[in-house]
Amino acid sequence: MDGIIISSQQLQESDIKKIKLNNIAIVTIDRFTSSKLCSSVSIKNKKGGQDAARYLFKKGCEKIAHLRGPTNINTANERFEGFKDVIRILNSDFDVISEVADFNVQSGYEGMSNLLTKYKGIDGVFASNDLIAFGAVKSARELGYIIPNDLLIIGFDGIDMTGLFHPTVSTLQQPVNQMGIQAVKEVISFINNPKEKITNYSFETKLIGRESTKD
C-alpha cells in the first residue's frame, strides 16, 4: 500500500505516526487535523452551524433549538459551537437549547420528542445531520406539529434523500465530490513526493432550502 485516505473522527496523532512509520502517504477527509504529518480535507462545520442558525432567524423563528451530534465527534462539536455563537449574538436573552443525538434517524426521533416535551414554543430546529432531521420531522408530526407551518427544520450533509423525503428537508450540503477529488490529489502528491507541504483544505457548505423551511 502506497497511500491511504482516512475518514475517522477517532483518529489520533499516535495512529498517524504508526502509519507514517511504514512510509505510507496519509490524508484525512471529513475532519480537520492539526497534525504536522498529514494533510486534511474537511468542511467549515462551525460556519455551517452559524449559517443554519442565521437562516432560521431570517425565516422568522424566535425560539431555535439544536439537535446536536455526539459529544465525542469533532464535526458535531464544531457545528454546535457555530450554532451557539449566532444564538447568543442574535438573541442574547435566549438560552441555548439543545439535545444530544447520534447520527441516525431513531436518535433524531427520540431527541426531537425530548426537546418538544421539555421546551414549549420551539419554532425552529437545526439538526446536526440529515438523518437526525428525518427523525425530527417524524417525531414532530406525530406530536401534532405541522411542518413547516408550526416548526421549521434544517439538516446538514445534503444527502439525496432530503429531496425525496416528505416534506422535502432543507440542508447544508457538503461538496462531497470535490472533497473526494481533493483527497485523492493530495494522497497521490504525497506518494510522488513524501516531502510535499502539509495543507489543510476546508470547503464551504451550500444552503439548500426546501419545504421543511417554507422554500
CATH number of the domain where residue 62 is located: 3.40.50.2300
Domain, as residue range, for 17 = 3-44+174-204
Query: Are 147 and 167 a contacting pair, CB within 8 Å?
Result: yes
Name the grid cell of 61: 423563528
87 with 35, same domain: the answer is no
CA nearest to 129, candidates 98, 182, 169:
169
Which pTM does this prediction carry? 0.91
pLDDT at position 13, please?
83
pLDDT at position 92, please?
61
17 with 52, same domain: the answer is no
3-class SS of residue 16: helix
137 with 180, same domain: the answer is no
- Cα(23)–Cα(109) distance, integer angstroms: 45
55 with 160, same domain: the answer is yes
pLDDT at position 94, please?
67
User: Grid coordinates 462531497 are at which residue?
Assistant: 176
pLDDT at position 9, please?
76
62 with 118, same domain: the answer is yes
CA separation (Å) from 68 to 5, 80, 125, 130, 193? 26, 6, 10, 11, 40
167 with 95, same domain: the answer is yes
78 with 167, same domain: the answer is yes
119 with 183, same domain: the answer is no
The alpha carbon torsion through 114, 118, 121, 127 (nearest 10 deg) reads -30
111 with 183, same domain: the answer is no
Name the grid cell of 18: 504508526
Name the grid cell of 182: 481533493
90 with 140, same domain: the answer is yes
HSE on the CB side for 207, CA within 13 Å?
A: 17
The alpha carbon torsion through 22, 24, 30, 31 (nearest 10 deg) reads 50
Domains identified in the chain, total number: 2
> pLDDT (tens digit, 0 to 9) for every residue of the chain, 215 residues total?
899 999 987 788 888 888 888 888 999 998 877 778 888 999 999 999 999 999 999 999 999 999 999 999 989 999 999 999 999 888 766 678 999 999 999 999 999 999 999 999 999 999 999 999 999 999 999 999 999 999 999 999 999 999 999 999 999 999 999 999 999 999 999 999 988 888 899 999 999 999 999 98
114 with 148, same domain: the answer is yes
pLDDT at position 93, please?
62
58 with 164, same domain: the answer is yes
Query: Are 110 and 76 a contacting pair, CB within 8 Å?
Result: no
Query: Which positions ≥6 away from 93 have C-beta within 8 Å?
Result: none
